[in-house]
Amino acid sequence: MEQNNANEIINCLIIGSGPAGYTAAIYASRANLKPVLYQGIQPGGQLTITTEVENYPGYPDGIQGPEMMIHFEKQAARMGADLRYGTATNVDFSARPLKVQIDDDKWLQAHSVIISTGASAKWLGIESEQRLNGYGVSACAVCDGFFFRNKEVAIVGAGDTACEEALYLSKICSHVHMLVRRDEMRASKVMQDRVKNTSNITVYWSTEVEEVIGENKVDAVKIFNRRDHTSKEIPVSALFIAIGHQPNSEIFKGWLDMDEAGYLKTIPGTSKTNVEGVFAAGDVQDKIYRQAVTAAGSGCMAALDAERYLGEKGHH
């Protein structure tokens, strides 16, 4: 079987399995592109570490993130997508067919490639943060802030996104404690001013999170002031981490155009990258919206772009 794989030429290869990848697989299957999807390190993507999803259309009662991704996966399989375990570890886009290596082992050949490898939230790296992830610790205020209506919450971060999320939380939570590691913010002046002018946001400068306190839920956050070397606890119901995301684009360096943060660049209004036949969808190319519904929409675009490309090249 392995030998056959070496000679196998895939019409449409999809790398990654969040909302973007699975939606691309659904559309590509229905267009008879015979897509092969490799699920990657985290099948289902970031939604598998989310608990309740309430803002995805069509689920009036909300749905658990992992369950929703099982629905996406089943739908892609029912449409005929070939779903496989494995992670893309290398690429060679220098010639046709395009080449992608799986698990540092076998090389695949493909007429078209859809990249939907997503992004990973950056974390503080403390044990209690991981233990309570999904139980009051979250990397997405827009996704999870709603569950802490009229409660006190904390947010870590100092950039525009952190300010935006703090302002978002200030509208639904009783008080927002904003923890900033340095004695200044990276955020633009206008965003900083908005935060400072919001009465229910308190900014703590030169502050680090030592520990998230709680058993099965967040009860408080223990903070350390780097200036006067004191620790104290703030009672909160949630801790939001807003220190940035890392696009999972490492293996495409040198092949595809990306911005300084590593997000893949696509031609505006399309999913096309700078390499013909290679398309990008979802969070690996979207640092602005980063929602399941926008990722799914761009997965649809990538499949339609790939279908058109393959048709023009006679691989349809």
**85 exposure class (CB count in 10 Å sphere: 0-12, 13-18, 19+):** exposed
Q: Read off the tokens for 237.
A: 């119901």
In the three-class reduction of DSSP (H, G, I as helix; E, B as strand; rest coil), residue 278 is classed as strand
Closest CA to 220 of 232, 230, 228: 232
- List the catalytic residue out of 12, 103, 144, 163: 144
The Cα–Cα gap between 246 and 61 comes to 31
Dihedral sign for Cα 218, 219, 221, 222, please.
Answer: negative
Identify whether the C-beta of residue 218 lies closer than 8 Å to the C-beta of residue 177: no
Whether residue 163 lies in the annotated active site:
no
How would you write 59-118 as a 3-class SS string?
A: CCCCEEHHHHHHHHHHHHHHCCCEEECCCEEEEECCCCCEEEEECCCEEEEEEEEEECCC
Identity at 151, one-letter amino acid code:
K
Whether residue 143 lies in the annotated active site:
yes
Whether residue 140 lies in the annotated active site:
yes
The Cα–Cα gap between 92 and 90 comes to 7
The Cα–Cα gap between 105 and 216 comes to 41
CA distances from 264 to 1, 22, 64, 118 (A): 34, 19, 29, 10
Catalytic residue list? 140, 143-144
